Amino acid sequence: MNLVEWIEMHQNEFTNLSDRVWEFAEVGYKEVRSSQILIQTLADRGFTTEKGVAEIPTAFVASYIKGPGPIIAILGEFDALPGLSQDCVPYRKPLISGAPGHGCGHNLLGVAGIAACFALKQALDTGDVKGTVRYYGCPAEEGGAGKAFMAKAGLFDDVDICLTWHPDAFNGAMWANFLAILRAGINCGFKKRGLKFW
């Protein structure tokens, strides 16, 4: 079965999962239901999960290992943004005025990352390749620097390649530098142990 056929076969599962995350609409470091449903989905497919990594309750890592080989990491995000409550229609229609909502597809980012992990797992299970696929549940992508704290905790130290995606106005791969270190620098200036973001 090719990748397109596999995606079409599982389309409803992933659509329903992303709709649930959309409905939860939890802001950074408070994505309790969103992270839990993603963790459960991964565990149900045989991934071992570690919750609360980097001392962040909603951060997690899920791994599937089949022999020695590269560690392929997939990033998933699931945080909503304040004030962006939105019905599932292509025009501005808040469900609850002033409530949080998903502004740039984070309900899709986390779920599509899981779909990528499941596709890689299929290749590992057939024996076509060996190695590890690892999903990183990254909270607080917008304004909270969740990945920076995860990196500081050493969670990416053994990874061979780390992949992610984001909705945009075009379909394609992009190679570019971003200022994530600036965000990390700003947020790491607080006393991490003294100030809890969640």
Looking at residue 103, its pLDDT comes to: 79
User: Does 182 have pLDDT greater than 70?
Assistant: no
CB 53 within 8 A of CB 153: yes
By percentage, how much of the chain surpasses pLDDT 70?
87
For the chain, the structural domain boundaries read 3-168+177-188
Looking at residue 177, its pLDDT comes to: 61
By percentage, how much of the chain surpasses pLDDT 90?
64
User: Does 111 have pLDDT greater than 60?
Assistant: yes
Looking at residue 6, its pLDDT comes to: 84
Measured CA to CA, the distance from residue 195 to residue 161 in angstroms comes to 32
Say what the alpha-carbon torsion angle 104, 107, 110, 116 is, to the nearest 10 degrees. -90
User: Would you give the DSSP letter of residue 88?
Assistant: S
Looking at residue 15, its pLDDT comes to: 95
Tokens of 145: 């620097």
Looking at residue 158, its pLDDT comes to: 95
User: Does 194 have pLDDT greater than 60?
Assistant: no
Measured CA to CA, the distance from residue 6 to residue 119 in angstroms comes to 8
Which positions ≥6 away from 117 have C-beta within 8 Å? 42, 47, 62, 64, 74, 133, 135
Lowest mean pLDDT among 9-18, 107-116, 120-129, 161-170: 161-170
Phi and psi at residue 71, to the nearest 5°: -100, 110
Residue 137: how many CB atoms within 10 A of its CB?
A: 30
Looking at residue 165, its pLDDT comes to: 84
CATH of 3-168+177-188, one of 3.60.15.10, 3.40.630.10, 2.160.10.10, 3.30.300.180: 3.40.630.10
Average pLDDT of 45-65? Answer: 97
Average pLDDT of 111-116? Answer: 95
Average pLDDT of 144-168? Answer: 90
Looking at residue 178, its pLDDT comes to: 57
Q: Quick one: residue 107, left, alpha or beta (phi over 0 = left, psi -120 to 50 = alpha)?
A: alpha
List, in sequence order, every residue forming a beta bridge with 66; answer none if it has no partner.
Answer: 131
The alpha helices in the chain, defined as continuous H runs, are: 3-24, 32-44, 106-126, 146-152, 180-188
pTM, whole model, 2 decimals?
0.86
User: Does 134 have pLDDT greater than 70?
Assistant: yes
Phi and psi at residue 106, to the nearest 5°: -65, -25
